[in-house]
Amino acid sequence: MPGDTFSRASVSAALARRVIEGGVDYAIEIGKAFTIAVVDESGVLKAIERMDGAPLISVQIAQDKAYTAAGFGIPSHAWHDFIKDDPPLAAGAPTGIDRLVVFGGGFPIMVDGALVGAVGVSGGHYSEDMQVAEAGLSAAGLDG
């Protein structure tokens, strides 16, 4: 029946690789190791790289940051401002929403105004994770 299904764009493997490669290049420039994960529009892992020396826990955190960014189409760091002045959300969201990360390093991937996926980075301070993610997006010709 009409209206029973819909289509949506999704990040390609080629685009995911470009985002990761751009992030890795920046990480090498600053001399630190990170994990960079790209998920599709549904938050399912599309591609990941754990650089040599990146912390083990960064694998999960990078994926969760990407999942968070894909979930609402906003950067993971935007969640802090979204919940900080709302006591029920501030108390419940971080513990009640599986995989929610409320600090920097996750960014949605938008193509032609459509959410097609997200990138998440972990391995440094969240401000460094954000820089690596933004470098990956920029290298792929996308906005961070």
The answer to whether the CB of 68 falls within 8 A of the CB of 100 is yes
Domain residue extents for the chain: 13-139
Largest CA distance in the chain: 55
| pLDDT at residue 77 tops 90 | yes
Q: Higher confidence at residue 3 or residue 17?
A: 17
Structure token digits, residue 101: 């990360």
What pLDDT is attached to residue 144? 64
At residue 3 the predicted structure's pLDDT band, cuts being 50, 70 and 90, is confident
**Secondary structure (3-state) at 62:** helix
| pLDDT at residue 1 tops 90 | no
Question: What ranges make up the beta strands (E) of the chain?
Answer: 35-40, 45-50, 106-111, 114-122
Order of strands, sheet of 45-50, starting from the edge strand that comes earlier in the sequence = 45-50, 35-40, 114-122, 106-111
| CA nearest to 8, candidates 108, 117, 140, 141 | 117
Residue 70 to residue 89: CA distance in whole angstroms: 19
Domain 13-139, CATH class in plain words: alpha beta
Amino acid identity for residue 18 in this structure: R
